Structures are given as structure tokens and as C-alpha cells.
A and B are shown apart, each in its own frame.
Chain A
Amino acid sequence: MKNYKIIEVKRSIFEDNDADANLLREELRAKNTCLINLMSSPGAGKTTLLRRTILQLKDEIKIGVMEADIDGDIDAARIIETGVRAIQIHTGGMCHLDADMTRQGLREFGTDDLDLVFLENVGNLVCPAEFDTGATMNVMILSVPEGDDKPLKYPLMFSICRCVIINKCDTLSVFDDFSKEAVEERIHKLNPQADIIFVSAKTGEGFDKWIEWLKTHIID
């Protein structure tokens, strides 16, 4: 008959990832590469925002994009059209990226010639917030049609981002129950330091402010 023995482990599942993410952040800093983890729900306009951002900045800053999706490579193809390098990462069914997957992606991509790398995370306001990717900073997009109540429903996501971009502002006249003041108040309650920028990635409205923000923050 077999006897059982108990081994105490007491280890958090997130501990390894957090440590790995901190290490990756240091490595990136040493190489002077800024990695921005861009998050939002599906369809908020991550790829459209990136395309316009790249077109405005690619002559000044060397940019690359890592696209993470469950399947497909349409996003990477749309980025390559702008003339910068892009890679598609498949998460194999996973709802988020973790630090190890990010590192593997970066290694495959090769970042030595880049100043700024955008990591377009899986479209999801829940899981990506819980897993530190090792990025230099987190930026998220909330689009007007999603509603101004989203900070109340997905507080963690809004509390971990340095910058919240409110996209699709060209649709404010249609979605006229979206209150800019209410969304600002709700975000700042969760995260007083968050910068909030209103844009339309489609028309370019508000983009000067976003580009300015980006330029200031990738240096420090």
C-alpha cells in the first residue's frame, strides 16, 4: 500500500510572472527600447490608432509592432502596410499575454534597431489587466460606443494604465449619452495619475495631444 506525504508549496501563481515581467522591463531599459502594452476590448480601434500613430511618427522614431491575437494575421498585415515591421503572435487560445510570451515574441521579432515597440494585446478588458507583460508602460483605449460606464465594470484595467485614450470621438453626436466628464471622473477615481486623451483615430481629431504625450513619455 502506498503512503502519502504532503509537501507544502505556498506559492502564488502570479509570483513567477511578476518577477519575470520586472526582469524583462530592466532588460528593455538597458537596451533603450520602450515597450508599450496597448489594451482595449475587441473593436475599440487599437490597430487603427496604431496605423495613424505610426504614419505620424515613423520618420522620427523607429517603431515596431507585435500583434497578439488568438488567431489570424490580419492585424499584422494592416500594420505592415504603414511601412514598419510587425509580427503576429498567436496566443493559442489564451485570453492574454504574459511576460514569458512577450519575451519570446520580442526575441523572435528582434528589437535592436527599434526605439519604440507597441504590443497590441488580445482584445479583452479583463485578463490582460491581471498579467504584467513586462512592458515599460500600459496604455488602454476605451471607445465611445462602449459607453462611459466601463471604468465601473472593469476597474482593474483602468487602474493599471498610465494613459487612457478615449477613441471614436467622431461618434459622440450619435452616442450622445456618453459623458466625457463622467468618464473622466470615474477613471480618476480609480487612478488619479492617469492621463486621459480624447481622439478619433479615424479622423485624426485630438491626435496632436496623443503624439505629444507619446513623445514625452517614451523618453523617461
Chain B
Amino acid sequence: MHELGVVFKVIEIAEQVADENQVKEISSVTLSVGEVSGIIHDYLYDCWKWAIRKSRYLQQAQLFIETIPAVTYCEACDQTYSTIEHGKICPHCGSDHTYLKQGNEFEIKQIEVFDTGEE
């Protein structure tokens, strides 16, 4: 639901990294997004197209999204399972003493820039 705010933050961080690396043009940004992060990819792409026009270095930048599968850990039987399939209740032992191990991430994995050849 807050895709636009998140996109602004991604652009801010990407431009900061670009400045640190003396880069003036970013060709793509790759995000790692958890399956249950609540982020809708289509909305993210739409916001991206709109927001990069206002950016300094990302006018042409493409957005790539990698998905991190959601995995829940069961404290009762010490096993893991797919959160999307089974939710809060462990399919192995029926316990609800479970917590999300991974799947709510929202990370910038990497940015790709045009190499000017200077090291």
C-alpha cells in the first residue's frame, strides 16, 4: 500500500550510493522483496516509472525485483514451512508457536551503473 513512499526511498538511497561512487547515471536497480512484505510489484513498477522522471541519475533506470520466499519457523517441532501455503499454523505438528523467519524484507540488492572506465 505504500509503494510510492518506498520508491522515493529507493531512489534516495540509489542516488546516495551513486554520489559515493562518483557515478552520474544509474542503468538499473535490483530489489530483494519478501513474498509477504505487502508490496505489490505492479504498483511498484508504476510508481517507479513516475518517480524516476523527478530523479537526478535514474531517468532511464530499469527496476528489477527478486522475490525472497516466505518461510515460517515452528518453535514446537523445530521445522520450517512455506508461509504462503500454511500461514500461522505449522503443517508438521499443528502448533501456532511459529514466527516468520524470512519473507518481509525490502532491500536494495544492487545498482547497475555505466562504467566510465576510470577506476
Q: Which residues of A contact B (CB under 8 A)?
A: 2-14, 16-17, 93-96, 98, 124, 126-127, 130-131
Contacts and interface: CB of A to CB of B under 8 A. Distances in A.
B4 A6 contact: no
B5 A96 contact: yes
B86 interface: no
A41 to B, nearest CB: 13
Contact of B108 (A6, A10, A124): A10
A13 B110 contact: no
Interface residues of B, number: 26
A124 B1 CA distance: 10
Contact of A10 (B5, B109, B113): B109
Given A2-B115, A3-B115, A126-B38, A14 B106 contact: yes
Contacts of B52: none
A115 to B, nearest CB: 31
B38 A9 contact: no
Contact of B112 (A5, A12, A17): A5
B111 interface: yes
Secondary structure class of chain A's binding surface, majority of residues:
mixed
B109 A12 contact: no
Given A93-B4, A94-B5, A96-B2, A9 B114 contact: no
A95 B1 contact: yes
B9 interface: yes
B113 A95 contact: no
Contact of A94 (B2, B17, B105, B111): B2
B24 to A, nearest CB: 12
A194 B115 CA distance: 53
Contacts of A9: 13-14, 17, 108-111
Contacts of B38: 126, 130
The 5 tightest CB contacts between A and B, nearest first, are A5-B115, A3-B115, A9-B108, A13-B106, A127-B2
Contacts of B75: none
A16 B13 contact: yes
A93 B2 CA distance: 10
B105 A127 contact: no
Contacts of B115: 2-5
Contacts of B106: 12-14
B2 A130 contact: yes
A13 to B, nearest CB: 5
B113 A5 contact: yes
A133 B112 CA distance: 32
A98 to B, nearest CB: 7
Interface string B83-107: 0000000000000000000000111
8 contacts: A6-B112, A6-B113, A7-B21, A10-B108, A12-B106, A13-B6, A95-B1, A96-B2
Contacts of B110: 6-10
A126 B1 contact: yes
A24 B14 CA distance: 24
Contacts of A11: 13, 107-108
